[in-house]
Structure formats: structure tokens, C-alpha cells
Amino acid sequence: MSRPLIRIASAVTGVILVTALAACHTETRQSSSSPATTGKSPGSWDSQIQQMIDDFPSDFASQVFADKVVSEQELTEARKINQDCYNAAGLSVSWNAYGRETVEGADPTSTEPPSAMGRCSFADGGVMVMYYQMLLNPRNEDEVELRAACLVKAGIARAGYTGADLLRDYEAKSVPWKPDDEKARNCLDDPLGLVNSKTTQ
């Protein structure tokens, strides 16, 4: 007897809390051929890259991170590593323009994500995670503040609204936008508009 598929969303790029606010999956695709690189002041990605190397040891990732650049070719290789891991676990996976993954499995009775998700999301040593973090925030600025500023600019939040306000409102479940607000979703997914500007051209 065939069993229906379950669909599980994982905010792979959402190491930062607010990234997880956007529980949506866009159909757009990122097509830039430019590599994602570490930014300079106000902050480099060195500490995050080192944390990935320490937490998810991988010869592949160590080689990729050696020059602090993740190229399109390296992203493709990283995606295949993660995909192969999911496939070996009997799951399929796809990624949206922001690197957020959607996993499909075959156990409709479980309320827990497949145990393979944590392992396979970082089977590449975190290369995909770092690629999309650097793509969306090249200068490694405070992501919560970037999202708050975007919400103000979009007219969703009041002037002077800060990252602290956003975290407080999120924790209180009283965010100043409706669940289907596309502008708010864009601010949470891509506060600098770097991916949206490419995928909508």
C-alpha cells in the first residue's frame, strides 16, 4: 500500500532566529554566477566559517573555506553531497532561492522531522549554509537589525523600529504584519533585496 508523502520545511539559512519567521517557500531561483564572498568591516565571516569547520568537520568544506569564497561550482558540489545524503535515507530534497530546503519523506505518522535532516543538512560541512548567508548579507551585518530596517522602509513597522523590537514582538506573537503579507515576507527572507532583485529581473 502506498503511503502519502509528508513535506517538512527546514530553514537551513535560519541560524539567526528571525530567519525562521518566514515559513514560506518561494518558487524563484537564484541565477547569479558571482561567488558568495566574505565581507569586510563591519564584520567578516571568519568566525562563522571556523565554527562550521569545528562543528561539522569535512575535508570538502575545509577546502572550500580556505579562500573564504564559495563559488557557484562549489555550491553545486555541496548541494549534491547533501542531496545524496537525503536520498540514501529515502528522502528527497529541494532548495529555494534563499537556500531554505523542503524535504519530502514517506512516514506520514511521525510528527518529528526525519533523523537524517540534521545530518544531511550539514553533510557538506555547512558550505550551503555559508553560501546563502554570505549571499544575503555580504557584509555580515546584524541580520535582525537588517530585517527591522527593511520592515520600516516597507512601511510595515513604525519609524525607529529596531531589531530588539522585532525580537520582542516575535516572542510575544504580536508582529506588526499579517501572515500573508508579501512585503514582510520579503524583508524576512531577503532584507537587502539582493536575491529578489535578481529573481524578478
Q: Are residues 97 and 190 in the same domain?
A: no
User: What is the Cα–Cα distance from 74 to 114, expressed in whole angstroms?
Assistant: 26
Q: What are the cell numbers at 167?
A: 525580537
pLDDT at position 131, please?
A: 97
Minimum mean pLDDT among 32-46, 62-76, 177-191: which range? 32-46
Residues 36 and 122 in one domain: yes
pLDDT on residue 44: 87
Question: Torsions phi, psi of 191, nearest 5?
Answer: -60, -25
Do 97 and 163 sit in the same domain of this protein? no
Report residue 196's pLDDT band, with 50, 70 and 90 as the boundaries. Answer: confident
Q: Judge whether residue 29 has pLDDT over 60.
A: no
Q: Give the Cβ contact number of residue 181 at 10 Å.
A: 16
Q: Which string of DSSP letters, residue by residue, matches the chain?
A: -----EEEEE-TTTTSGGGGG------------SPEE---TT--SHHHHHHHHHHS--HHHHHHHTTTEE-HHHHHHHHHHHHHHHHHTT-EEEE-TTS-EEEEES-TT--SPPTHHHHHHTTTSSHHHHHHHHHH-TT---HHHHHHHHHHHTTSS-TT--HHHHHHHHHTT--SS-TT-HHHHHHHH-TT-TTHHHHT-
Identify which of 121, 90, 123 has the alpha carbon closest to the alpha carbon of residue 107.
Answer: 90
Residues 147 and 122 in one domain: no
Domain stop point among 136, 160, 181? 136
The pLDDT confidence band at residue 198, using thresholds 50, 70 and 90, is: low
Q: Is 165 among the domain residues?
A: yes
The strand pairing partners of 101, in sequence order, are 10, 95
Range of the domain at 128: 6-136
Per the CB < 8 A criterion, the answer to whether 58 and 37 are in contact is no
pLDDT at 117: 85
**Cα 30 from Cα 200, distance rounded (Å):** 10
At residue 14, the pLDDT reads 38
Residues in a beta bridge with 105: 6
Q: Does 43 score more than 80 pLDDT?
A: no
Last residue of a domain, one of 107, 136, 165: 136
pLDDT (0 to 100) of residue 105: 80
Question: What total of structural domains would you count in the chain?
Answer: 2
Domain boundary among 103, 121, 136: 136
Q: Is residue 140 a contact partner of residue 39, using CB atoms and an 8 Å limit? A: yes
Instruction: Let me know whether 78 and 62 are in one domain.
Output: yes
pTM for the predicted model, two decimal places = 0.75
